[in-house]
Chains A and B, each alone.
Chain A
Amino acid sequence: MTATTTAADRQFLRLATVGSVDDGKSTLIGRILHDTGSLPSDHIESVTDQQGQLDLAALSDGLRSEREQGITIDVAYRFFSTEHRSYVLADTPGHERYTRNTFTGASNAHVAVVLVDARHGVQRQTRRHARIAALVGVPHVVAAVNKIDLVDYSAERFEELRAELDELALQVGIGEITAIPVAAKAGDNVVHRSSSTPWYDGPTLLEYLEDVELAAPSPQPGELRLPVQLVSRPSEGHRRSYSGRIVAGTVAVGDEITVLPSGSRSTVVALDTLDDGRAVGVAGLSVSIQLADEIDVSRGDVIVSGRADAHLPVVARELSATVCWLAEKPLRAGDRVALKHGSTTVRATVQSLDRRLDPDSLIEQVGPGELVLNDIGTVTLRTSSVVLADTYEQNRDGGAFVLIDEASNDTVGAGTIDEAREVVPGRATRNDIKWHPSSLARDERWRKTGQRGATVWLTGLPASGKSTVAVVLERLLVSQGRVAYLIDGDNIRHGISDDLGFSPGDRAENIRRVGHLARLFADAGVIAVASMVSPLRSDRDIARELHAAAGLDFVEVHVATPVAECERRDPKGLYRRAREGSLRGLTGVDAPYEKPTDPDLRFDTTGADVTELAQRIVDLLVERGVVAAS
């Protein structure tokens, strides 16, 4: 960089301050803003008392309750700029109760400034925050050893603290912590060099920030990660386009790409990087691209390089991750959450809690019973659909996720992927449980009984006519000499699922069980006819993949009767109750129904002949070779 940097060319640096309550974070920030001339006169006036004393700390605490209690509750974002750089500074709370906000502030930072009170040294919160900085992979950590004036600008004390900080760096896994002696209140070594620390020859805090090397985004074409955010429909004169923010690598017109998880390939024919004239899209930029071929791409897919030497993400269903738990309700093994990663959200189950970090000793406890608010721990997660994962170490954006509680919709956890594993659905995943093989091969069984098994899965809104069609289909098949069996969503709740309620997690579990049950039926040579609302695509996909992994036919039928018609029928009075407000979470009323994007068969039962509809399913089974034409 040179002094002639124009405003539009300035580099962007994100900075987060962390550290214990009362170590002087807010004062330090006020000092930086003040000494870089970033404070408008009316703001200075607003924190100057009648004696003309400036209360720098008051600049940051923007909420009434923060000013009342004298603590920072939430991240405040502050801005300042120099000739070289534009800074966004996240002032994060020191208070333990608001660790989630510290995490938020640190997650995007290029530099973390750890505040340490020169009198007290490294505290419990300093450790915890340093661990968070390490966890979120802040590339540079600098320690402002504050209130150095209160230890008489002692070089010995500073050396002692520097040693303490070196040890902390080692403990939490930060490469190096640069220590700077400062007095935020007086302004020593923050922006201006202090004459009171002649023994110190390092940079001031601002000099450090100005010079710190910012890593360039990974600019290798073979490392492209473009999570698809939006797919625009083609309109007159315009092709379909795919938009998203590049997370790694580069993309340019002419590049060969692959779409994951489908594996479809194409070539980029147009690129819009917003700033006209840029030929190469690079990590950090939001882009839109068009492809040479009409292939199936949807939100949540990731566009990667199609080169032979491309570095690809793991198509994962199991993640080992480090999680910062942000909710009052503890996290336990078996819990279900929604996991948002890139532009995709999937369901996840906590398979196990593996380790928990003790914030005081920084020692890891193995096999904890739970993670409580603000805990940092290692967990194993199983996801309902694939996650196209990188490790956090490889790529901050490709390896980060948040956890969302499906009932409250709150963000309850933030995590980083340590390891991503591919898991084939249906394959036993616990190594202490083995699949006991039958002495019969499936082919042999099917040959002897003269029937091959399959699953017909009917999905649709409540009262769409699924069960009516399913009952007729079952009868039709049996009348043709086939063994068919109806697995009805309601019936299953009388036995196998009588322990489940209607929370989103329980509903997903119910569908999971039916998927496994249908697979066993199909394996036995029965045509399983499952009639389930099964509103979420991801849940149905699990059932489909279970069958695919076992080499069994799975026919998805979307009973696409319009909601108005379903509501008119309403044999169980569900819609009426939902409208009255006495029933919450009814699919189609106040809970979503995700239509199958590509069902094997779709029909509307309005005014239709049910037998004719059932026959259409039989015809499809004939076409698939499951049953012979009669």
Chain B
Amino acid sequence: MTTSTTTVDPAIDHIPALRILESEAVHIIREVVAELENPVLLFSGGKDSIVLLHLAEKAFRPHPLPFPILHVDTGHNFSEVIAFRDKRVTPTAARPDGIRLIVASVQESIDTGRVEEPDDPSGSRNRLQTRTLLDALEHYKFDAAFGGARRDEDRARAKERVFSFRDEFGQWDPRAQRAEPWSLYNGRIRRGESVRVFPLSNWTELDIWRYIELENIELPPIYFASQREVFTRDGILLTASPFTHPRPDEKVATEWVRYRTVGDLTITGAVRSTATTLPEVIAEVEEATVSERGETRADDRTSSAAMEDRKREGYF
């Protein structure tokens, strides 16, 4: 560029990493709304999808969110998360239109015979979610679905594009991913095909927490330590509940715990913690020596390619 002699505000020559990530995510969200017809945001009530929803609202403010959010409900929920979800979409003075929430129910998929519940009563419904998700995307004719997945979560996730193309069966083919140089995203699809879009691709778990602090974003209370009835199964600290069916040899005890992720209650583990405030949680995450999924997700342990296999089937 040609040079000119204008003095430059010294405060603008350096943009902090979190603000770059924020701008990048907002750019991606706006690009989807501009190029695709009928997007939806997948919302689990977990911290990543809460950050994603916050970014989406920022991307369009002061106007209301131009797309609905979709919760794929396994039926095995933390009640605090459902309460948070319902409060989050309720109209307020600042958000008079509220947010349109669509709930796709795994229980309904089971009841209608679309999927079969595993025999093991404490078995996870995580795998079943894929069918319910694909059915919902097809039913509402969504051609783009935003997900809060991050590349730091898993080896297969690390390979995912920002715009991840899915064929008409929702399948991912890692060998045929579209090149994605610069910030030029190709959202062109044919009828029936769709894209999964991951605006948080370049964020890490710590980025998410620091951004929550920076923007003062509200979270469901299970992210902060409290006393809960828990027991250990396969090294994972599970909450005792009608869905988890503690076996006689699994001793239930009251402990101080919090959650690092929110998912199906039957497979989401808690961590022992006394961190009741955001700075305390961040300090613990900074010190953590075990990854988020390694510590708290039983389903990812089943095989080293568990995530890849689920993604190929259409999971986000």
Contact = CB atoms under 8 A, between A and B. Distances in A.
A171 interface: no
Q: Which of A40, A81, A311 has the most CB of B within 10 A?
A: A40
A400 B184 contact: yes
Contacts of A411: 178-180, 186
A250 B308 contact: no
Contacts of A42: 290-291, 294-295
A74 B159 contact: yes
A291 to B, nearest CB: 16
A433 interface: no
Interface string B29-65: 0110110000000000000000000000011111100
Contacts of A108: 181-183
B1 A286 contact: no
A8 B210 contact: yes
A243 B30 CA distance: 8
A230 B34 contact: yes
B155 A12 contact: no
B180 A286 contact: no
B63 A235 contact: yes
Interface in B4-44: 4, 6, 8-9, 11-24, 26-27, 30-31, 33-34
B295 A229 contact: no
B204 A79 contact: yes
A69 B178 CA distance: 21
A409 to B, nearest CB: 4
Nearest to B29: A286
Nearest to B152: A79
Contacts of B214: 8
Contacts of B156: 62-63
B159 A76 contact: yes
Interface in A1-51: 7-12, 40-43, 46
A393 B7 CA distance: 23
B304 interface: yes
Contact of A275 (B19, B289, B291): B19
A10 B19 CA distance: 10
Interface string B91-111: 000000000000000000000
Interface of A is mostly: mixed
Nearest to B175: A73
A75 B174 CA distance: 10
B82 interface: no
A218 B14 contact: no
B58 A274 contact: yes
B12 A395 contact: no
B20 A12 contact: yes
A104 B33 CA distance: 23
Nearest to B202: A88
A385 B216 CA distance: 45
A40 B291 contact: yes
A232 interface: yes
A62 B16 contact: no
A558 interface: no
Given A75-B159, A221-B6, A285 B182 contact: no
B141 to A, nearest CB: 13
A136 B182 CA distance: 9
Given A65-B175, A221-B6, A282-B12, A77 B182 contact: no
Contacts of A294: none
Contacts of A248: 1
Given A222-B4, A230-B34, A243 B17 contact: no
Contacts of A86: 17, 204, 207
A286 B14 contact: no
B305 A220 contact: no
A341 B207 CA distance: 30
A430 interface: no
Interface in A306-344: 309, 311, 326, 338, 340-341, 343
B154 to A, nearest CB: 7
A284 B20 contact: yes
Nearest to B300: A42
Contacts of B6: 220-222
B31 to A, nearest CB: 6
Interface in A228-244: 229-230, 232-233, 235, 238, 241, 243-244
B183 A397 contact: yes
Contacts of A101: 177, 179
Given A79-B204, A245-B23, A282-B12, A11 B17 contact: yes
Given A274-B23, A404-B188, A136 B1 contact: no
B268 interface: no
Given A42-B291, A77-B201, A409-B189, A285 B23 contact: yes
Contacts of B181: 103-104, 107-108, 136, 400, 402, 414
Nearest to A43: B291
Given A11-B17, A282-B12, A402 B59 contact: no
Contacts of B24: 286
Interface string B131-170: 0000000000000000000011011111100000000000
A230 B58 CA distance: 14
B30 A285 contact: no
Contacts of B21: 12
Nearest to A106: B181
B177 A74 contact: yes
A396 interface: yes
A41 B61 CA distance: 41
21 contacts: A7-B210, A8-B214, A12-B17, A41-B294, A76-B155, A77-B201, A79-B204, A103-B179, A104-B181, A223-B2, A243-B59, A244-B27, A245-B23, A279-B9, A286-B24, A311-B2, A338-B188, A397-B183, A400-B181, A409-B188, A411-B180
The 5 closest A-B pairs by CB, nearest first: A62-B155, A42-B294, A107-B181, A40-B291, A12-B17
